[in-house]
Structure 1
C-alpha cells in the first residue's frame, strides 16, 4: 500500500474497502482499480449505462474497444464463442499464463455488449495478476471493463494518485494497490482466427519466445512483423486498445532524439529536459536537467518507470521534453525484442513524430 496516499477517495485495500468498491461497481459507478500493468478505470461490463460512463470520463472514442477483466479463466467462457478446436486449444494454452499481463482477443459471445467491443466481432479479456484486483473480481463475479484510468491520450497511471490527478470527479473510489509492478499495458494477443497464427496486436512485457513455448507454434507480432493494424477507417473499431496514433502523451511537447545526441537542438531560451533510457544522468549542453530511467539499461526497469517519469516531467515546469529513441537493433542484448518494441511503440505514440522510427 501507499502510506503517502492522502486523497479521501483513495482507500487502503482492506476487505472492507474492497466490499465498498465492489458495491460501487454493482451500483453502476466507476472506481480506480490497481493491476500489475497500470491502474484501470473500472465499471461493470454488462451494463451499457456503466460502460458509457467510462467513455465519457476518459473522453474515449467509441471505436476504441475495452478489455473485460475477470477473476478466473473459467469466467471467460460465457464471454467468448470458441467454435473451433484450434481456438479452444490455444485458449487453454494461453490461459496458463493467467493471472498475468496478457489480454486475449477471441470471438465474442452474444452476451457481450457492442459498446465494449466497439461493435466489432471480437472481445478482449484478461485475468490480472494483482491480489487486490483478483479479490475484487472474485467477489463481484461480473465482467469488469477497465481501460487505463486516465483521460484518453494522456499518460497511463501507475499510482493511485495518478488516477485522482485526472479523474477525481469521475470515480467513486480508488483502491490503493501501490505502484504497479509492470508499469506498461498488457500484451494483447489475438487468437480469434484459427486459420492464422496467434498474433500480438499490442506489445507488452511478454516475449514471443515465451508465447511460442506455450503454444508450440509460431507467434506473429504486428509491430515486429510490420503488420498494418494501426490505421483502420476512422469509424471502424480498432483491432486492439492502445493503437491510436497519439497516445500516452504528456501535455509538454515531447521529442524523440537519438541516444547518441549529447546536446539539445532546441531554442536556448527553452527549458528542456532530457530523459536518457540508460546510463548516468550526467549534465548535457542545452538541457536544464537530465534524468535516466535505468543506469544499467534494464528494459524491465525502463518500462516500470516510463509513465511515472513522464508524468513527473510533465509537472516540472519544462518547456520541452527530449527522450531517447529505442530501436530494437540497438538493444538486441536485452533478449526480449517484444518488450523493446513495446517501449519503442509507447515512445513513438507519446511523441506522435512522423519521422520517429518504431525500431522494428
Structure 2
C-alpha cells in the first residue's frame, strides 16, 4: 500500500467521490510501518531523544488540529498558541492545585478549549480570509499578557509560571518517566488521529469541506454554515488544548512567555510544510519545526535564522504542496517501478 493511495486522477466521464474513502490518510501498509517505527525506536535511544519524539507527537497533534480548521473548513487561524496555552494551564492547574491525575486533566482541557474555540468562532463568523487571520493573531498576541495578570497569579503563577510534576509509570512498569509519557502520548495521538479521520469522513466533515470549497453553494445545499464554522473552531481548539496539556506534562513547566505568537506561526508553518488538508503530514510538519531550527543552528550559530529562512524557502519552492506532494510523487514512482 502506498503513502498517498487516496490520490486518484479520474478519467473523463468518471464520477468523483465527494469524500474519498481513504481521504487524508496513509495506506494501511505505510501506516503499519510508521506505527511500528514509533513503537520500537524509543527502545533503542536515550531519554533526550525520547523527549524529542514526545514533543514531535504533541506538536503533531497541534498541527493536525490546525489542519482540520484550515484544510478541512478553509478558515485561517494564527491563534492556535492561545488554545495551546489554555490547555497547558488547565492541566497544570488541575495537577498542582487540585491534585488531579494527569490523564484526567486532558479531557477537561479539551472540553474547556472546545468551549473557548466555539465561543470565539461566534464573533469570528463575520470575518474571513485575512481579517479572520488578524483576529486570531490578536488573540495569540493577547494571551501571554492575560496569563501574567495579577488577578490570576494565584492559579497561574504569574510571570514565574508553574512547575508540573512528571508522572511515573503506573502499575510498577519498568519504564522511565520519559518513556512512559512517550507511549501515553502515542496512544492519545493515535486515538485523536483516528477520530479526526472519521470526523472528516462523516457528514460533518463533508459539511466542513463544502464550506471550504464554496460557502455560498454549501448554504444553498442546506448546510448550516454558521454552526459548522464554529464547530470547526471548537474541534480544532479542543484538540489543541489536549496537545497543550500533554506539552505541559512533558516539559514540566508552564509560563506565559512559552506561548507567544511565535508558537502560533510555527504551527501554521508546520501545517504548510506537512501539506494543507493532509492529516499524516502533520507529523512531517511537526518534525520540520522541531528539528530544522537545530539543523540551521548547527550550520551557523550566528546566522541560524537566515539559514532556517533559506531552508524554508527551498522547501516551499521545491514542494509547494508540502509532504503530500512528496507522497504523491513517491506513489507514482512506485507504480511505474511495479509496471516495469
Same topology, TM > 0.5: no
The answer to which structure has the higher helix fraction is: 2
Measured against the shorter chain, the TM-score band is: under 0.3
Which structure's relative contact order is higher, taking Cα pairs within 8 Å and 6+ residues apart? 2
TM-score, length-scaled by structure 1: 0.24
